[in-house]
Amino acid sequence: MGKGQKRNQQKKLPANKRNELSHLNELLISHGFKTTTNLSEQWSQYVEIRSLLERIQAIEADLKVKSAGNKNRTQCIETFCTWARENGAQFEGVKIVEFPGYGMGLEATKDHDEGAIFIRIPKKMLMGLDNVNTSIAPMMSEMPLIQSMANIKLAFWLLVEKLNPNSTWKPYLDILPDKYSTVMNFSINEMQELKGSSALSSALIQCKNIARQYAFIRKYIDNIKEDAFDATLLTLKERFSFDLYCWAVSTVMTRQNLVPIDIMDKGETQTQMSPTLIPLWDMANHAHGKITTVYNPESDYIESTLQAKCQRGEQIFIFYGPRSNADFLIHNGFVYPKNEHDTVPIRLGLSSMDQLVNERTELLEKLHVVVSGELNLLPAPKFISSELLGFVRVFNMNKEQLDYWLASDKVTDLLHADCALDTALEVKTWKFLETRLTLLLRNFPTTLEEDLALQN
């Protein structure tokens, strides 16, 4: 949308509302820089930020962006597929379908063999930072927050395109979800369901970061004089909102992939990996397997092959990568019940007051295990990661045992469950783990049975 083009005919906020919004935004920025020292403080800060955001959202309610003439996503499929084909996408034997429990996904319309290419997307169709609208590029280069973080830069450009009724990517934008199940869209009651889990702290940090990003961008936009804008930027000044920013961030967070792009640096072209949206391909849902999508530099296409044989009428899945369910929940808005890569972190560390801290530190360094940090529990049947087992064994050793293993050429045996150890040390190791896990379970406000009943 260039100069002189017609902008969305939605009412502007009156001056008093804009002043109130500016005041709330300053409060949001101040909360965004307050440090917290424990989970209780994190939670209290989250509740305060959430309260401010609810007041901001109430003021910004009239700025809500409507998509595709208020059509639902399903009604936009045909237009999107036509646009994709016209732009060079190849997806014979594949269609977009609504699947119960999944939302939209890809369905095979013919039998496909394992390893067969089922989708090819030309690079020109991707929403990457090498395709940014030239009218918004100067602003993106001037805003420090956007300039330093590629994923925020992509989200910012995405919301600008969302506001543009003539966007090249409009058919793609219209088929995207209006709202996501990412943690920044959780209510306080929904967030409380994470209490006791390792995901809560990360979720609270993420919500704080997104709120702070929104506040900085809003302040920057509000402080630029209107005569400095073309029509694109004027629309952004009038329509930017927290809900719109959350939508853009969630879209990038749940759908981005790293793709090589060419950028100019000091007059030279350099290739770097950059977060990118891949229309159509990103409609595929996750299933355990292997990465089967690559960028082909010879054809300049993204190409994806089937990780398993797929018959007509079946859903085509791709593998999003090895992530824990906490990561999936926070960054993708779902969990995968049979996740072979799931982990639950336990934070452990040596005490500086321990008289044997130097010996323990030296032994842990030989094992390449952290002295302080998160160590993982694993799914059945292994349960305890090698690093966690090694740490707890070293943590419970006396001086004689530490000296023995520091001199041993088989020190890495400590990372294995079948390592030959003193019986007393082995008992102490497993008793420590039992006690630690029991304490962690007590942090949950509900039982496993209650949580399973809630799911059903």
Q: Is residue 10 part of a domain?
A: no
Residue 79 and residue 56 share a domain: no
Other beta carbons within 10 Å of 344:
17
Which pLDDT value is given to residue 3?
39
CATH number for the domain spanning 299: value is 3.90.1410.10
| Residues 146 and 27 reside in one and the same domain | yes
In a domain, 9, yes or no: no
Q: Which one is predicted more confidently, 157 or 139?
A: 157
Q: Which of 62-66, 105-109, 340-344 has the lowest mean pLDDT?
A: 62-66
The pLDDT of 65-81, averaged and rounded, is 80
Model confidence pTM above 0.85: yes
pLDDT category at 222 given cuts 50, 70, 90 is confident
User: Same domain, yes or no, for 41 and 81?
Assistant: no
Q: Decide which of 350 and 264 is more confident.
A: 350
Is the pLDDT at 329 greater than 80, yes or no? yes
Q: In whole angstroms, what is the distance from residue 69 CA to residue 75 CA?
A: 11
Which residues, 6+ apart, have CB-to-CB distance to 354 below 8 Å? 360
Q: What are phi and psi of 256, to 5 degrees?
A: -70, 150
Quick one: which of 122, 241, 253, 275 has its CA closest to 177?
A: 253
Q: What is the pLDDT of residue 58?
A: 95
Check pLDDT > 60 for residue 33.
yes
Burial of 131 (0-12, 13-18, 19+ CB in 10 A): middle
Does residue 59 sit in the same domain as residue 192?
Answer: yes
- 5, part of any domain: no
Region 100-125: mean pLDDT is 95
| pLDDT higher at 271 or 114 | 114
Q: Which of 43-57, 98-112, 161-175, 264-278 has the lowest mean pLDDT?
A: 264-278
Q: Is there a domain that residue 80 lies in?
A: yes
What is the pLDDT confidence band of residue 244, given thresholds at 50, 70 and 90?
very high
* DSSP SS3 for 245: helix
Cα–Cα distance for residue pair 261/129, rounded to 1 Å: 8
Are 315 and 253 part of one and the same domain? no
- Domain of residue 394, CATH code: 3.90.1420.10
Percentage of the chain with pLDDT > 70?
94
Burial pattern 242-277, b for ≥16 Cβ within 10 A else e, equals: bbbbbbbbbbbbbbbbebebeeeeeeeeeeeebbbb
Residue 293: partners with Cβ closer than 8 Å, 6 or more residues away: 257, 281, 302, 303, 304, 305, 318
* Residue 256, CB-side half-sphere exposure with 13 Å CA sphere: 22
The answer on 447 and 349 residing in a single domain is: yes
Q: What is the pLDDT of residues 361-385, one digit of tens each?
A: 999 999 999 999 999 999 989 999 9
Q: Is the dihedral of CA 292, 293, 294, 299 positive or negative?
A: positive
* Residue 172 belongs to domain spanning: 15-63+127-271
**387, part of any domain:** yes
> Are 348 and 431 within one domain?
yes
Q: What is the mean pLDDT of residues 194-206?
A: 94
Share of the chain above pLDDT 90, in %: 75
Q: Is there a domain that residue 4 lies in?
A: no
CB 62 within 8 A of CB 252: no
Mean pLDDT across the chain, nearest whole number? Answer: 91
**300 in any annotated domain:** yes
Q: In this structure, is residue 429 part of a structural domain?
A: yes
- 25 and 132 in a single domain? The answer is yes
Whether residues 180 and 233 fall in one domain: yes
- Looking at the structure, tell me whether residues 95 and 164 fall in a common domain: no
Residue 5 has pLDDT above 60, yes or no: no
Mean pLDDT of 403-428: 95
The pLDDT, as a whole number, for residue 66 is 63
Average pLDDT value for residue range 331-336: 94
Positions of E strands within 179-249: none
Q: Are 167 and 314 part of one and the same domain?
A: no
pLDDT at 10: 56
CA torsion, points 180, 141, 146, 294, in degrees to nearest 10? 60
Region of 137 on the Ramachandran plot (φ > 0 left; ψ -120 to 50 alpha; else beta): alpha
The residue from 271, 287, 306 where one domain ends is 271
Shared domain check, 404 and 357: yes
Structure confidence at residue 8 (pLDDT): 44
Give the pLDDT of residue 7. 43
Token digits of residue 363: 């032994």
Q: How many domains does the chain have?
A: 3
pLDDT at 455 over 80: no
Task: Identify which has the larger pLDDT, 203 or 10.
Answer: 203
Q: What is the DSSP string of 362-378?
A: HHHHHHT--SEEEEEE-
What pLDDT sits at residue 272? 84
Point out the domain boundary residue: 332, 354, 369. Answer: 332
- Of the candidates 444, 454, 128, 82, the one whose C-alpha atom is nearest the C-alpha of residue 280 is 82
Domain stops at, among 271, 292, 312: 271
What pLDDT band is residue 142 in, cutting at 50, 70 and 90?
confident
